[in-house]
Amino acid sequence: MRDLPIEIINSVVRNVSSVIDLLQLRSLNKAYRELVTPIAFSKLHVKNSIQSAQNLQQIIAAANLAPYVREVVYDSRDDECFQFPPENIEIEDMLEVADLEESLTEAFCSLDRLPRLECVAANFWPTFISQSGKEIRESPFWFTSRQLTVIHSIYHAMKTSRMASLSLNNVVMMPAACYDFVSTLTNSPLSHLSLSVVPNADISAWSGSKEINGSLGALLPLSNPTLKSLELRSPQGPYHSLETKLSSFHYPSLESLVLENTVFDQMPSPDGVEEFVIRQKSRLHHLELQSCASYVANPSVDARLWSSIWQRWADELTSLRELVVDGDSGYVVLDAEWGYVTYKPISATVAEGDSSSLQMFQDAIVSTCEVVA
């Protein structure tokens, strides 16, 4: 229809009288032709439903469509704020919940059959779409169970996939033993990993909270020379694990590191975030801290001052070309009722020293960049 003369189209489409309308009709037809060609499948959006998971499986199985898929996005929701589900939710059809997990497992385990897949983004929300089209809220147990199922499936697919970028959002960090499958991925293909976790405050009321607040390291790939960009975020509030366990991770090619609402340990140790940053120093060019804090576990012991951290990093991170510090890098204590709150006894002298050390660090980076240029 795109190349037919107007006169012939006019004889076919008898209800369209004017030449202008016919031209618009032909233009519209051309647009629809382009929409249904395989290039439209370069980015797939998968809803949290059995039907959507099955649709993904069908596309993966289609030899004429699978090669065009570059990106898979699971359960993306714009402008929605995560709220941890109440524990007393009753789901009427448990069989449908089980069927959903099975469909998601089959779909995400098959991602390695997409030969040109580059990027996967998995977003976790505590609701799903039932077969009848109704939005159903999940209990914390089923929500975390489904989350583990999907993440496990993605890591399974990465063993033979060329996927280069992975984003996991609204993750509830479970005990490290739940993520044993991560260590089986001996050759991670990822050059970029973004991990966004649910903050301590949102999960502290859940009766199972003693089982969570796991280490961010549980989902990090084994040390490798492939990873170039890493983001560890907690957008809705501070995140701190009493067992950080980052000592075994080293990414010699890492160029960019972003930390958001990360709580640093009171005492520096090989397992802590401070040491983790230093281990990546060989090629680290961009370091970004957003609203990070130093944890004061015992007020009777001197806090780990930010001035000490800035001075140490200034000495060690000689390859750094950009330092972005957004928000207040302050100090927090753990309150039994309110969670992590600002530690107020920090004096004005300490605050001034922190600010001065940060400025000296930033000035040193600028000077280094000028010399290189």
> What angle, rounded to 10 degrees, do the helices at 94-109 and 50-61 form?
20
Q: What is the mean pLDDT of residues 336-355?
A: 90
User: What integer pLDDT is reported at residue 13 of this predicted model?
Assistant: 52
pLDDT at residue 70 tops 80: yes
Alpha carbon distance 277, 232 (integer Å): 12
pLDDT in tens, 1-10: 445 455 554 5
Report which of 214, 98, 75, 222 is spatially closest to residue 158, judged by C-alpha positions: 222
Which residues make beta-bridge pairs with 300?
none
**Of 149, 226, 220, nearest in space to 190 by CA:** 226
Let me know if domain 40-305+331-339 sits in CATH 1.20.1290. Answer: no
- Nearest residue to 216 via CA among 188, 237, 241: 241
- pLDDT at position 201 over 50: yes
Residue spans of the domains in the chain: they are 1-36, 40-305+331-339
Residue 83 phi, psi dihedral angles, 5° rounding: -130, 125
Dihedral sign from CA coordinates of 18, 20, 23, 29: negative
Q: Which residue has the tokens 């000490």?
A: 308
CA neighbours closer than 13 Å in the CB half-sphere of residue 1: 18
Look up residue 239 and give its DSSP letter: B
Q: Do 298 and 266 form a contact (C-beta atoms < 8 A)?
A: yes
Reported as a pLDDT band with limits 50, 70 and 90, residue 32 is: low
What is the per-residue pLDDT across 249-284, written as a single tens digit (0 to 9) for each?
999 999 999 999 999 999 889 999 999 999 999 999
Whole-number pLDDT of residue 328: 78
Return d(Cα 280, Cα 313) in angstroms, integer: 11
pTM for the structure as a whole: 0.88
Confidence check: pLDDT of 225 > 90: yes
Question: Using 50, 70 and 90 to split pLDDT, how confident is the model at 31?
Answer: low
